[in-house]
Structure 1
Amino acid sequence: MYKISKNIFNWDNMSIIEKINIITSVNNKKCEIQNKVFKILKDVEKHGDVALKKYTLKFDKIKLNDFFVSRKRLKKSSLLVKNDFKKAILMSFNNIQKFHKLQKIKDIDVNISSGIRCQRITTPIDSIGLYIPGGITPLISTVLMLSIPAKIAGCSNIVLCSPPPIKNEMLYAAKICGIKKILQLGGAQAIAALAFGTNTIHKVNKIFGPGNAFVTEAKIQARELVSGLSIDMPAGPSEVLIIADEFSNPEFIAADLLAQAEHDYNSQVMLLTSHKNLAYDVLFYLNKQIKNLSRKEYIISSWKNSKIIVTSSLEESFNISNQYAPEHLILHLQNARKYLSQIKNAGSIFIGSWTPESAGDYITGTNHVLPTYGYAKTYSGLSVLDFQKLITVQEISKISLKDLANNISILSKAEGLDAHDYAVSVRMNSWKFK
């Protein structure tokens, strides 16, 4: 018998330590995970393909002869998925593409003053790796979320990897996005392969994609171990925080909490409301709805990390939310849009009772690769810009350098950098004696 425990707390009755624990996303097994991930990374770095085959057999129970999905199988995927799936994927593709195309930024080219020209140009990151969570619940939609902005940005060398066996639906999604290199690898070992490279796999410059705690830790460690390697963001187990008022529908709220809780054993869901009766109504619907769901074990496990908090006011709810910085923030509020100005930290916001987080996961057009663990305080959700670099350019005419020379000399001498000053004066002297 699966039952959602009470887990309802009154914010004003909690100690400071209890409050800090609630608003801080903590992985209690972090040290253990760090050690395991480090061993996997170093093993793959040293033994390459041999280590990858070993870990794939160990974790995925599959013996691989070739890490890459054949072009024949990729092409055949079109024949092995249902037409209604194709239609749904196409709608998602079009919406995501439409929203992300608008994210392209304009190059800058400006004459600062006569003879001084400055530019900012964009260039795609050359080689990138896209990680797609797989296994029991393959995130097919993440293929679109990563591939579409990568293509819009103009990335030329793209490799996508996901744990085997890779479903035909995922291959079809990759195919319509124009992805041709697909690796049958998952977990920390997949991140290691992308980061270090092996005899058969080329290393990449940047790694993208969400994953479990092991994948997230592997991305963080690989960034430190490999010079020049970058990652998109720390995106681990999923989170949702809901702020609700007396006008909210408790049945809708319960459904939204369960939808996020089913993602992962370590997912975290939160409800903040100043109305105690609503909190108990939501608890009632949580227990009613879980009976009909298939991923009960995941939900019960993630509920241990989760809370329903009764606050003294809507303002207090927003203060707590901003401290927590949720990956997903749902506003189950009347006239919800008017509260946007009160939100400082969130990965993505869902406005009103008719905007379930599920819609953002699949089809609205926004990106569902978002920062977790409180990183929404400093990171943004994935965008086209994450797949590009911004390069500045400057050009000075001979006459303009003469006008700037004295000020450059003053500033460089103030910093004690003689060679900076000489780099200008040698040019001035060259011109003077011609």
Structure 2
Amino acid sequence: MRRFRFSDPDFEAAFSAFVAERRDTPEEVDSIVRDVLAAVRAEGLPALLRFARDFDRVELDEAGLRVTQAEIDAGAEACPVEVREAIDFAAKRIRTYHERQRPADQRFTDEAGVELGWRWTPLDAVGIYVPGGRAAYPSTVLMNAVPAAAAGVGRIAMVTPPGRLQPAVLAAAKAAGVSEIWRVGGAQAVAALAYGAGPIRPVDKIVGPGNAFVTAAKRRVYGVVGIDALAGPSEIVVVADGANDPEWIAADLLSQAEHDPAAQSILITDDEAFATRVEAAVQAQLPSLATGTDAAASWRDHGAVVLAPLDESPRLVDLIAPEHVEFAVEAPERLSDHVRHAGAIFLGRYAPEALGDYVAGSNHVLPTSRAARFSSGLSLYDFLKRTSFVKCDEAAFAALAPATVALAEAEGLPAHARSAAIRMRRR
């Protein structure tokens, strides 16, 4: 864990260097992913089954690749009642939030008499990657599938590494409207969704988090299909004053640190004594966490405490451009209204980021690695596309044609110019 003091003469340079640290995809990962994608594209199903055996140590055949509806129903039924109720509660809130994002179609006539407009339509098919291994992630299913269903996507195909499917994940898939579930993970799952493989038909867009192999695969298939983003390690910034309970703030910092040893948690405060108490609370809480090993590594290697005037916090947050930022202060909007670069902002002492991960309703798929400078979190818009309209009668054409010809000729595109000019001559 690093400490930075705003008053230090080298603060700006030291903190900027800390923020700018990057974790690039290792070359060996990208090389393996390239070969996996090529094999699945060329061979289809045989490559999927071979990689399941080689990478996941699982023997599968075509029939065992798809999770049956009976398995989904049985798994959902095996999910504890209180967890099923929480899933339904979260799904309803996520659906309501994202349905409010629905944009309107428009058609209008401008001053030249040209009729213009646009229409929004849902994607036909979306693939959702749901990680396995480290933990069960029903929230990943909900955050990716519910907005897709709300947008009207007709087919939602979920892929997840082979192995025992957690009842909570199956319950979430059922609640979210997932159309099909396939036992395939890693780069080969991304390839199957992008190119198709055996019974798995290709999709139009792939969303959902994964490890370095999944992220590298999504980068390589972009253009064949759309992707949501290239996810990096989780991040949180907590801006807190000394009136907070240090135990609360420590728990908030650890809520992201436990995701991954490469996750990053940063505290910004103007109270040095409070910062010391938070650091002590972090150390006290780590032994009680089942995820303590990862959380401790994250806090040790990537955590930071910044001692700075709170009025400087919006500028520092913009410099970090974090996935999540909490303003645990008395009047949070006074500071948060000046923040421009953050995936999600949590306001007040009773708005921990964990609410956003599960049940607040907003999406937890957010930009990482400073991508909040130029991108947004997952939304309904990720599952819609916009088509524009142009309608001209003869008078409207006459208003647009001369400028069209002039620009086409200036660009050296004579057929473009002729397309308009030929109509002008025959009027």
C-alpha RMSD of the superposition: 2.0
Describe the superposition over 1:272-329 as per-residue Cα deviations: whole angstroms up to 9, x where unpaired.
Answer: 2232212211111011111211111111222243222333322333322211111111
Taking only the aligned residue pairs, the percentage that are identical comes to 34
Describe the superposition over 1:111-137 as per-residue Cα deviations: whole angstroms up to 9, x where unpaired.
Answer: 113641101001111221111122231
When residues 13 and 31 of structure 1 are mapped into structure 2, their CA distance, relative to the original with a 3 A threshold, is: farther
Which runs of 5 or more structure 1 residues have no equivalent in the other structure? Answer: 1-5
1:312-391 correspondence to structure 2 within 5 Å: 312-391=308-387
**Contact kept in structure 1, 2:239 and 2:267, CA below 8 Å:** yes
Separation in 2 of the partners of 1:357 and 1:50? Answer: 43
Separation in 1 of the partners of 2:408 and 2:43? Answer: 50
Q: How far is 1:199 from its partner?
A: 2.3
1:231 paired to 2:227: yes
Separation in 1 of the partners of 2:81 and 2:194? Answer: 37
Q: How far is 1:404 from its partner?
A: 3.0
Separation in 1 of the partners of 2:335 and 2:264? Answer: 23
1:98 paired to 2:93: no
Describe the superposition over 1:231-256 as per-residue Cα deviations: whole angstroms up to 9, x where unpaired.
Answer: 11122221111112222321111001
Q: How far is 1:172 from its partner?
A: 1.5
Bigger CA drift: 46-55 or 379-388?
46-55
Q: How far is 1:14 from its partner?
A: 4.6
When residues 60 and 264 of structure 1 are mapped into structure 2, their CA distance, relative to the original with a 3 A threshold, is: farther
Match of 2:134 among 133, 136, 141: 136
Separation in 2 of the partners of 1:378 and 1:215? Answer: 22
1:9 paired to 2:7: no
Separation in 2 of the partners of 1:33 and 1:249? Answer: 43
> TM-score, normalised on structure 1?
0.91
1:121 paired to 2:119: yes
Match of 1:278 among 270, 274, 281: 274
2:350 is paired with a residue whose SS is coil
Describe the superposition over 1:59-85 as per-residue Cα deviations: whole angstroms up to 9, x where unpaired.
Answer: 433322222101211122332112111
Separation in 1 of the partners of 2:41 and 2:17? Answer: 37
**Contact kept in structure 2, 1:188 and 1:218, CA below 8 Å:** yes
> TM-score, normalised on structure 2?
0.93
Aligned to 1:81: 79
Aligned to 2:203: 204
When residues 9 and 114 of structure 1 are mapped into structure 2, their CA distance, relative to the original with a 3 A threshold, is: closer
Q: How far is 1:378 from its partner?
A: 0.7
When residues 147 and 424 of structure 1 are mapped into structure 2, their CA distance, relative to the original with a 3 A threshold, is: same
Bigger CA drift: 181-190 or 26-35?
26-35
Aligned to 1:402: 398
Aligned to 2:67: 69
When residues 412 and 82 of structure 1 are mapped into structure 2, their CA distance, relative to the original with a 3 A threshold, is: same
**Contact kept in structure 2, 1:213 and 1:237, CA below 8 Å:** no
When residues 108 and 430 of structure 1 are mapped into structure 2, their CA distance, relative to the original with a 3 A threshold, is: same
Separation in 1 of the partners of 2:187 and 2:363? Answer: 23
How many residues matched? 423
Q: How far is 1:228 from its partner?
A: 3.4
Separation in 1 of the partners of 2:28 and 2:403? Answer: 56
Which runs of 5 or more structure 2 residues have no equivalent in the other structure? Answer: none
**Contact kept in structure 1, 2:87 and 2:171, CA below 8 Å:** no
**Contact kept in structure 1, 2:266 and 2:306, CA below 8 Å:** no
Aligned to 1:3: none
1:284 is paired with a residue whose SS is helix
